[in-house]
């Protein structure tokens, strides 16, 4: 046999011997020191231990386990779970462990009560894949072929003289025999062929990454309890509106079976007289206004903002409420009608219009025979047939006010305002202008 062939044969023999020795050493270490090798088959512990990594764990008492440790336990279904400890609470003679994978959003559903557990000391990337391959049918076949090759090379016939055969035999019998025995023992130990072998559960971490499965939300919100209620009629808008927010409209929006209410709005249209819609600040002609957003008051109640008694004049209104949830589902619109029918206030009467030497200011006096005080008085002044923007006085100003006017001919008229409703125009106080600067009541 040539020197190259002899070296190749010895390399095969010693390779088998070394691999067999490593396998047996791992088995003996596991048996003597309670060391457990773990192959991570899922990514639930990434990036600390990627799928295919080999973890080396050692059994420790439950009292030595702390939050943050990575431990391996067996769950109620008999599956091995290797996750990180997020809570450890004493329970009888043991400890109740709550575990969670590093990539999982929630802890494991099961709480593990143990008196001891395998704590992972370190991991070797990709080594688990190699070990899994070695224990597969193909791996076992390769190991068997290695044993057969070692036996053949160690004990088979070799050419050459008797002296060379004797010398070669002495040189190779020991390593060949050692390789064969260790390889066979290693394969048997790794694959669980003997009564002292590891079980398959030792090699498998079946704790895959947990996930919360969310059923798509197809349930829309529900709108109830509008205020004012459908068909309501009131003589006072503040009392007719929702009780928690005077002068506003309100509605309840719930989504108990879905993902939660995200938006509520109302479109308000005055349908009597000239049709007008509310644009968030005023009523404008037409119905093209967008629905105005409502804000939550408390619980499920939402309210409008910006409405006032002055805006909600007498008339019939239609409120259309809408709502949507986080998932984009929209509620069935809730449509209501209500009527504001506040009584028309008593018309005030101007009783005097006096001036000093015919110059500004002018003193107007009036009387009002209504009960109590109106909300306010409005004084209109105009020349050339049109009134200017009125001046508003408090409702307590029942004895008159001082008012400056331009030096132009014009007429003063007064109204009382209650609940946003104006009385008819009062009698007139006529100013003659720059000519004689006379002011008289008609």
Output the pTM of the full model.
Answer: 0.43
pLDDT classification of 408: cutoffs 50, 70, 90: low
Spatial CB neighbours of 73, under 8 Å, sequence gap ≥ 6: 80, 81, 82, 97, 99, 112, 114, 117, 118
Q: 213, exposed or middle or buried, with CB in 10 Å at 0-12, 13-18, 19+?
A: exposed
Q: What's the whole-number average pLDDT of the chain?
A: 77
pLDDT digits (tens, 9 = 90+) for 2-31: 776 667 667 666 666 665 666 666 666 656
User: DSSP character for 268?
Assistant: E
Short-list 412, 427, 419, 305, CA closest to 372: 419
Residue 20 contacts residue 183 (beta carbons within 8 Å) = yes
**Own/partner long-range contacts of 423-427 (Cβ < 8 Å, ≥24 apart):** 423/344, 423/345, 423/346, 423/347, 423/348, 423/374, 424/344, 424/347, 425/347, 425/380, 426/347, 426/348, 426/349, 426/350, 426/366, 427/349, 427/350
Query: What is the DSSP pairing of strand 35-40 with strand 204-205?
Result: parallel
Lowest-confidence region among 114-123, 143-152, 232-241, 298-307: 143-152
pLDDT classification of 99: cutoffs 50, 70, 90: very high
Please give the average per-residue pLDDT across 394-404, as a whole number.
71
pLDDT digits (tens, 9 = 90+) for 100-139: 998 888 898 898 999 999 999 888 887 766 766 566 566 5
pLDDT digits (tens, 9 = 90+) for 411-430: 888 899 886 778 898 998 88
User: Could you give the 3-state DSSP secondary structure of residue 23?
Assistant: helix
For residue 344, pLDDT over 80 is answered with yes
Tell me which H or E stretch contains 17. Answer: helix 3-33
Would you give the end-to-end CA distance of the chain in angstroms?
A: 144
Q: How many Cβ atoms are within 10 Å of 11's Cβ, its own excluded?
A: 11
Q: What is the 3-state composition of the chain as percent helix, strand, coil, each rounded to the nearest 5?
A: 20, 35, 40
Residue 4: what pLDDT? 66
Q: How far is the C-alpha of 105 from the C-alpha of 89, rounded, in Å?
A: 21
Query: Which of 176-190, 237-251, 312-326, 365-379 has the highest average model confidence (pLDDT)?
Result: 312-326
Q: At 54, give phi and psi (nearest 5°).
A: -105, 120
Tell me which H or E stretch contains 29. Answer: helix 3-33
pLDDT digits (tens, 9 = 90+) for 144-173: 565 666 556 555 555 544 444 444 544 544
For residue 282, pLDDT over 70 is answered with yes
Higher-confidence residue of 278 and 199: namely: 278
Q: At 342, give phi and psi (nearest 5°).
A: -70, 140
Residue ranges and CATH numbers for the domains of the chain are 3-203 (2.10.109.10), 222-340 (2.60.40.1220), 349-441 (2.60.40.10)
Rg (CA), the chain: 47
């Amino acid at each position: 046999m040539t020197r190259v062939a002899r070296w190749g044969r010895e390399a095969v023999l010693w390779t088998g011997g070394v691999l067999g020795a490593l396998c047996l050493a791992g088995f003996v270490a596991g048996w003597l020191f309670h060391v457990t090798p773990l192959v991570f088959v899922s990514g639930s512990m990434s990036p600390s231990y990627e799928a295919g990594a080999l973890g080396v764990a050692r059994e420790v008492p439950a009292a030595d386990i702390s939050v943050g440790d990575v431990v391996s336990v067996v769950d109620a279904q008999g599956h091995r779970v290797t996750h990180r400890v997020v809570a450890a609470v004493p329970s009888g003679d043991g400890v109740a462990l709550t575990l969670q994978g590093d990539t999982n959003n929630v802890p494991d559903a099961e709480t593990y009560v143990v008196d001891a557990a395998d704590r992972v000391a370190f991991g070797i990337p990709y080594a688990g894949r190699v070990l899994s391959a070695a224990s597969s049918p193909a791996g076992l076949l390769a190991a068997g072929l290695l044993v057969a090759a070692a036996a053949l090379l160690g004990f088979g016939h070799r050419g050459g003289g008797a002296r060379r055969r004797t010398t070669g035999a002495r040189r190779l019998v020991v390593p060949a025999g050692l390789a064969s025995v260790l390889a066979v023992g290693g394969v048997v130990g790794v694959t669980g062929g003997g009564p002292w072998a590891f079980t398959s559960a030792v090699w498998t971490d079946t704790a895959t990454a947990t996930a919360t499965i969310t059923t798509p939300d197809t349930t829309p919100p529900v709108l109830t309890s509008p205020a004012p209620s459908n068909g309501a009629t009131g003589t006072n808008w503040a009392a007719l509106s929702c009780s928690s927010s005077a002068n506003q409209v309100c509605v309840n929006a719930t989504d108990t079976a879905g993902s939660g209410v995200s938006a509520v709005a109302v479109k308000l249209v005055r349908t009597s007289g000239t049709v007008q819609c509310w644009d968030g600040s005023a009523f404008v002609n037409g119905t093209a206004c967008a629905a105005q957003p409502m804000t939550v008051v408390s619980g499920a109640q939402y309210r409008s903002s910006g409405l006032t008694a002055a805006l909600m004049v007498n008339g019939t209104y239609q409120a259309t409420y809408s709502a949507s949830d986080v998932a984009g589902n929209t509620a069935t619109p809730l449509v209501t009608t209500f009527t504001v029918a506040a009584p028309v206030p008593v018309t005030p009467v101007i009783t005097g219009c006096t001036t000093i030497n015919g110059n500004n200011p002018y003193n107007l006096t009036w009387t009002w025979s209504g009960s109590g005080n109106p909300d306010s008085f409005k004084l209109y002044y105009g020349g050339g047939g049109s009134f200017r923007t009125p001046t508003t006085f408090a409702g307590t100003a029942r004895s008159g006010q001082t008012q400056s006017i331009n030096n132009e001919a014009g007429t003063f008229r007064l109204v009382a305002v209650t609940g946003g409703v104006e009385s008819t125009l009062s009698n007139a106080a006529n100013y003659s202008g720059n000519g004689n600067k006379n002011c008289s009541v008609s």
